[in-house]
C-alpha cells in the first residue's frame, strides 16, 4: 500500500498552494533558468520593488539586470526592442504595465510583431511574449482598466491568452514564452491575489489552444475567460440549486481557439451563454456567438446569448463601475431566461 | 562624448576601398534606372520610391560592415538592400510578387527581409525601424555576437516619437547600433525647414548624450570616414552613434510625383553634381582605376541586372495556397 501511494506521488508533479501572482513569478523564474535566450524587459521590474505589484520580486537579484532589464517609460521602445531581439534569436518577455498602454505601442505590436513572420515569407519569426495586466472594478477609471482582447484577436499573427487559475497562469505563460509566435498574455490583476490554488512545481506547461472544462454540466454551456470564469462558476452553483446543470468552459486562449471543445460542449447542452469583461459591441463574444450559430444552428434549443460590459468607457464611481461590469446576477438572469 | 562634429574627408582612403564603394553605388544607380525604365514601359506597376541620388551613403557603409552585421531600412530602401548584398534575382522577384522572391511574394517592396545577407527588416511605417534596430542590437549584445546594427531612415522620420524613444534607450543601454538619417531634405512633399525644428538633425543626438556626426553623404571619403567612426565605435563597445548624411533625391517622393514642390534650380544643381558620376571622375583622376576597368565593371553589373529582371519576369506569381502559410509557426489559425 505504501509502495503504491509512493508511485502515485512520483507520477503527479508536486504542487504547492499559491496566489496567481506567485505562479507568474515562478513561471518567469523557470523560463529564465531553463533558457539563456529568455530575458525580461519592462518598466520598474527590478528589485527591490520587483514591479508595480511586486510580481517580479527576486528575479533581477537572481538573474541580474542584463536578463531582468528595467526600461525607461517608453512603450514604443520596449515593444520595438522586444521585436528586434525576437527576430534575431532571443525569447523576450516584455511587460507593458497596463493593457491600455498597448495602444501606445500599437505600431510595433500590430504592424511589426504580428506581421514580420508573414511578410518575410517565414524567414524570421517573432517568439515574443507580451505580458500585460488590466481589469475594471478597482476604481482606476477609463484609461487603466480596458479589456482589449478583441482588437488583438482581430490582428492575424498574434496569439492571445487569458488565464484564470494559478496553475494555468504558470503553465500557459511557460508555453507562451517557448512558443515561436508573438503571444499577448493578459493578466487580470483582480486575480493576482484573489485566485489561489495548487501549482505544479518545475517546468509545468499547459498547451495553448486547449479549453478547460472548469465545471461539467449538461443543460447549458457558460463560455468565458479570465476573471469571469470565477463568476460563471459561482452562478453555476446557484443554478444547480434549482436543477439547472451548467457546464463552465474556460477558453484560456482566444488564439489559438479550442473550437472543438466549444462546439462539443454546446452540441451536448444545446444552449450557450458567453460571458466576458470587455464591452459587448464587437467583443470576442460576438465572434463566438456567430461561430456557434453557424455551426450548430439545428442543435440549439435557444439563441446564443452574451453577457458583457456596457458599451461605454470604464467609469470611475463605484456605483457606475458596478453597473458597467457583467455581474453575477446579470449572468444568472440571462441563463434562467433561456429556460423561461 | 562629441556632439555633431562635421565629418571631413578621410585622407588617403585606399583606392580599392573607393573602387568598391563605386561599384556598389553604380550597381544601385543602374538598378534604379532599369526599374524606372521597366515601369515606364508599362511592364510593372505598383509603388516605387527611387533612391537615385542617395547611392553613396549605403555604399560607403557597406564597405565597413561585415556580412553578418544587420541593416534595417524603409520603403525607400532598394539602395540599402543592394548595398547589404540581397541577391538581385530574388530581390527583383519579390518586387514583382513572384513565388521565388526573397519573401515568397508576401512582403513586397516595402517589406524586404533577407536574413542571409543581414537585411533583417524593411518597414513601410515611418520611424518604426529605430526601436526594432535597438532590439536587434540588444540581441547582438546579449548573445555577445559582436554584430553591429545599422538603422536607416529619412529626415521626416526623426520627428516621430519612436525616434526619440529609440535613441534614448540605445544610449541608456550603450548598444552597438548606428542610426543613419539619410537627409534628402524632403519628407514626402514637406521641406526639412517646414517639418523639422532643428537645422541639423545630428544636433538631436546631444539630447541623448549620443555621439553624432553630420556628414556630406554624397562625398564617398567623408561618408566612409563617418561610417568607420560609427561602426568601429559600436564594435568596440563604445555605444550608439547618430549619423546625419546629407543628400538629395532626384525623383520626388514616389514614382509619378510631379515634383512641383522641389525648386527647379535646386534639382538641376543636385543632378549636375550627381554623386555617382562625380565619383567615377574622381576615381579616374586619382588613377585608382582606368576607363576600361570601370567600363568592364559597369558592363558586368548591367548584365547582372538584366539577368535579375529577366529571371523575375519569368517566375510564376505566388500560388494562392501560400496565402495561409507563415501567419503562425503552424500556418493559419481559424
Ligand atoms: C507613421 C507614418 N506616417 C505617414 C506615412 C506616409 N509616408 C510615407 S513616406 C512619408 C515621408 C517620410 O519622409 P522621410 O522620413 O524624410 O523619408 P524619405 O522618403 O525622404 O526617404 C510619409 C509621410 C507612413 N508611411 N508612416
Note the pLDDT tens digit of each residue in A211-241.
999 999 999 999 999 999 999 999 999 999 9
What residues have CB less than 8 Å from A171, skipping those under 6 apart?
Answer: A27, A200, A204, A205, A206
pLDDT at B2: 42
DSSP of A51-96: STTSTTTTHHHHH-TTTEEEE-S-HHHHHHHHHHHHTTT-EEEEEE
Q: How far is the CA of B187 from the centre of ligand 1 (A)?
A: 6
Report the distance separating Cα B267 and Cα B248, nearest Å. 8
Instruction: Read off the DSSP letter of residue A314.
Output: P
Report the distance separating Cα A113 and Cα A105, nearest Å. 11
Report the distance separating Cα B28 and Cα B276, nearest Å. 10
Report the distance separating Cα A8 and Cα A113, nearest Å. 43
* A108/B328 Cβ within 8 A: no
Would you call A122 an interface residue with chain B, using a CB distance cutoff of 8 Å? yes
Residue A298's pLDDT band (cuts 50, 70, 90): very high
Q: Is the peptide bond before A18 cis (omega within 30 degrees of 0)?
A: no
Mean pLDDT of A186-207: 98
Residue B126 near ligand 1, beta carbon < 6 Å: yes
Q: Are A68 and A45 in contact (CB under 8 A)?
A: yes
Q: Is B299 left (phi over 0), alpha (psi -120 to 50) or beta?
A: alpha
Nearest residue in chain B measured CA to CA from A83: B132
Report the distance separating Cα A305 and Cα A222, nearest Å. 10
* A74/B128 Cβ within 8 A: no
Nearest to B327 among A81, A118, A124 (CB): A118
Pocket test for ligand 1, best of B156, B183, B251 (most atoms within 8 A of CB): B156
pLDDT at B10: 64
Enumerate the residues of chain A whose CB falls inside 8 A of the CB of residue B95.
none
Residue B184 near ligand 1, beta carbon < 6 Å: yes
* B169/A74 Cβ within 8 A: yes
Atom of ligand 1 nearest to the CA of B76: 21
Instruction: Read off the DSSP letter of residue B114.
Output: B
Q: How far is the CA of B179 from the centre of ligand 1 (A)?
A: 17
Chain A nearest-CA distance from B3, in A, is 23
Task: State the distance between the two ends of chain B, measured CA to CA, in whole angstroms.
Answer: 53
Secondary structure class of A194 (helix, strand, coil)? helix
Q: Are B245 and B226 in contact (CB under 8 A)?
A: yes
State yes or no: pLDDT of A3 exceeds 60. Answer: no
Superfamily name and number for B6-309: Thiamin diphosphate (ThDP)-binding fold, Pyr/PP domains (3.40.50.970)
What residues have CB less than 8 Å from A3, skipping those under 6 apart?
Answer: none
pLDDT at A340: 80
Sheet with B241-246: list strands edge to edge: B119-123, B70-74, B149-154, B177-183, B241-246, B211-216
Report the distance separating Cα A313 and Cα B215, nearest Å. 50
Residue B157 near ligand 1, beta carbon < 6 Å: yes
Q: Are B114 and B102 in contact (CB under 8 A)?
A: yes
State yes or no: pLDDT of A2 exceeds 70. Answer: no
The pTM (predicted TM-score) of the whole model is 0.95
Report the distance separating Cα A77 and Cα A194, nearest Å. 33
* B123/A80 Cβ within 8 A: no
Q: Residue A67's CB: how many other CB atoms inside 10 A?
A: 17
Mean pLDDT for all residues in chain A: 96
pLDDT at A13: 76
pLDDT at B12: 79
Percent of chain A having pLDDT more than 90?
Answer: 96
Enumerate the residues of chain A whose CB falls inside 8 A of the CB of residue B111.
119-120
Furthest CA-CA distance within chain B: 65
Q: Which residues of B260-288 are buried (b: 16+ CB within 10 A; e: fewer)?
A: eebeeeebeebeeebbbeebbeebeeeeb
Report the distance separating Cα A112 and Cα A81, nearest Å. 11
* B137/A87 Cβ within 8 A: no
Residue nearest to atom 4 of ligand 1 (CA): B126
Residue of A134, A289, A286, A119 lying closest to B121 (CA atoms): A119
pLDDT at A7: 45
The ipTM (two decimal places) reads 0.94
Would you call A86 an interface residue with chain B, using a CB distance cutoff of 8 Å? yes
Instruction: Read off the DSSP letter of residue B7.
Output: P
Residue ranges in chain B whose pLDDT is less than 50: 1-3
Report the distance separating Cα A168 and Cα A163, nearest Å. 6
> Nearest 5°: phi and psi at A247?
-90, 135
Active site residue A144: yes
Report the distance separating Cα A312 and Cα B189, nearest Å. 40
- Tens digits of residue pLDDT in B265-288: 999 999 999 999 999 999 999 999
State yes or no: pLDDT of A316 exceeds 70. Answer: yes
- Tens digits of residue pLDDT in B95-132: 999 999 999 999 999 999 999 999 999 999 999 999 99
Q: How far is the CA of A285 from the centre of ligand 1 (A)?
A: 38
**Which sequence spans correspond to the domains of chain B?**
6-309
Amino acid at each position: 500500500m505504501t509502495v503504491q501511494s509512493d508511485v502515485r506521488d512520483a507520477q503527479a508533479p508536486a504542487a504547492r498552494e499559491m496566489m496567481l501572482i506567485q505562479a507568474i513569478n515562478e513561471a518567469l523564474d523557470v523560463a529564465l533558468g531553463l533558457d539563456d535566450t529568455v530575458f525580461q524587459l519592462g518598466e520598474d521590474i527590478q528589485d527591490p520593488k520587483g514591479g508595480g505589484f511586486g510580481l517580479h520580486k527576486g528575479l533581477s537579484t537572481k538573474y541580474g539586470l542584463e536578463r531582468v532589464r528595467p526600461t525607461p517609460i517608453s512603450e514604443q521602445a520596449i515593444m520595438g526592442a522586444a521585436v528586434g531581439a525576437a527576430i534575431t534569436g532571443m525569447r523576450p518577455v516584455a511587460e507593458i504595465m497596463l493593457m491600455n498602454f498597448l495602444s501606445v505601442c500599437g505600431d510595433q505590436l500590430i504592424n511589426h510583431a504580428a506581421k514580420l513572420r508573414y511578410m518575410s515569407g517565414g524567414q524570421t519569426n517573432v517568439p515574443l511574449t507580451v505580458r500585460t495586466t488590466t481589469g475594471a472594478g478597482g476604481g482606476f477609471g477609463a484609461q487603466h482598466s480596458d479589456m482589449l482582447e478583441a482588437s488583438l484577436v482581430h490582428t492575424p499573427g498574434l496569439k492571445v491568452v487569458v488565464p484564470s487559475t494559478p496553475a494555468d497562469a504558470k503553465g500557459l505563460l511557460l508555453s507562451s514564452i517557448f512558443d515561436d509566435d508573438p503571444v499577448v498574455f493578459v493578466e487580470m490583476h483582480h486575480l493576482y491575489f484573489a485566485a489561489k490554488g495548487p501549482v505544479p512545481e518545475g517546468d509545468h506547461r499547459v498547451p495553448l489552444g486547449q479549453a478547460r472544462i472548469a465545471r461539467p454540466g449538461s443543460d447549458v454551456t457558460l463560455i468565458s475567460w479570465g476573471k469571469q470564469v470565477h463568476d460563471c462558476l459561482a452562478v453555476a452553483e446557484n443554478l444547480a440549486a434549482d436543477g439547472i446543470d451548467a457546464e463552465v468552459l474556460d477558453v484560456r486562449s482566444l488564439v489559438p481557439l479550442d473550437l472543438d471543445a466549444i462546439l462539443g460542449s454546446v452540441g451536448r447542452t444545446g444552449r450557450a451563454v458567453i460571458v466576458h469583461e470587455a464591452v459587448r459591441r464587437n467583443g470576442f463574444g460576438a465572434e463566438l456567438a456567430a461561430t456557434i450559430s453557424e455551426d450548430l444552428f439545428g442543435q440549439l434549443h435557444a439563441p446564443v446569448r452574451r453577457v458583457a460590459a456596457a458599451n461605454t468607457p470604464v467609469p470611475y464611481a463605484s456605483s457606475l463601475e458596478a453597473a458597467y461590469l457583467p455581474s453575477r446576477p446579470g449572468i444568472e438572469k440571462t441563463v434562467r431566461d433561456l429556460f423561461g | 562624448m562629441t556632439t555633431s562634429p562635421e565629418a571631413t574627408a578621410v585622407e588617403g582612403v585606399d583606392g580599392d576601398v573607393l573602387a568598391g564603394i563605386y561599384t556598389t553605388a553604380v550597381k544601385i544607380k543602374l538598378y534604379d534606372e532599369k526599374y524606372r525604365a521597366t515601369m515606364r514601359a508599362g511592364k510593372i506597376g505598383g509603388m516605387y520610391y527611387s533612391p537615385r541620388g542617395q547611392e553613396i551613403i549605403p555604399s560607403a557603409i557597406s564597405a565597413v560592415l561585415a556580412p553578418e552585421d544587420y541593416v534595417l531600412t524603409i520603403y525607400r530602401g532598394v539602395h540599402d538592400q543592394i548595398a547589404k548584398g540581397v541577391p538581385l534575382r530574388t530581390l527583383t522577384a519579390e518586387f514583382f510578387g513572384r513565388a521565388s522572391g526573397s519573401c515568397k511574394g508576401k512582403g513586397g517592396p516595402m517589406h524586404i527581409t533577407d536574413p542571409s545577407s543581414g537585411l533583417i527588416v524593411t518597414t513601410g511605417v515611418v520611424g518604426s525601424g529605430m526601436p526594432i534596430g535597438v532590439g536587434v542590437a540588444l540581441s547582438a549584445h546579449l548573445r555577445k555576437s559582436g554584430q553591429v546594427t545599422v538603422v536607416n531612415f529619412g529626415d521626416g522620420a526623426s520627428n516621430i516619437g519612436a525616434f526619440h524613444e529609440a535613441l534614448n534607450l540605445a544610449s541608456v543601454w550603450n548598444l552597438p547600433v548606428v542610426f543613419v538619417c539619410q537627409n534628402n531634405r524632403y519628407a514626402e512633399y514637406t521641406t526639412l525647414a517646414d517639418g523639422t525644428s532643428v537645422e541639423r538633425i545630428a544636433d538631436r543626438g546631444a539630447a541623448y548624450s549620443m555621439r553624432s556626426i553630420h556628414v556630406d553623404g554624397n562625398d564617398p571619403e567623408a561618408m566612409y570616414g563617418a561610417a568607420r567612426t560609427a561602426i568601429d565605435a559600436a564594435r568596440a563597445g563604445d555605444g550608439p552613434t547618430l549619423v546625419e548624411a546629407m543628400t538629395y533625391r532626384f525623383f520626388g517622393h514616389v514614382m509619378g510625383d510631379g515634383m512641383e514642390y522641389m525648386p527647379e534650380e535646386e534639382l538641376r544643381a543636385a543632378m549636375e553634381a550627381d554623386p555617382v558620376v562625380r565619383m567615377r571622375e574622381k576615381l579616374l583622376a586619382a588613377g585608382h582605376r582606368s576607363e576600361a576597368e570601370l567600363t568592364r565593371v559597369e558592363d558586368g553589373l548591367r548584365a547582372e541586372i538584366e539577368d535579375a529582371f529577366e529571371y523575375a519576369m519569368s517566375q510564376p506569381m505566388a500560388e494562392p495556397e501560400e496565402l495561409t502559410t507563415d501567419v503562425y509557426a503552424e500556418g493559419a489559425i481559424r
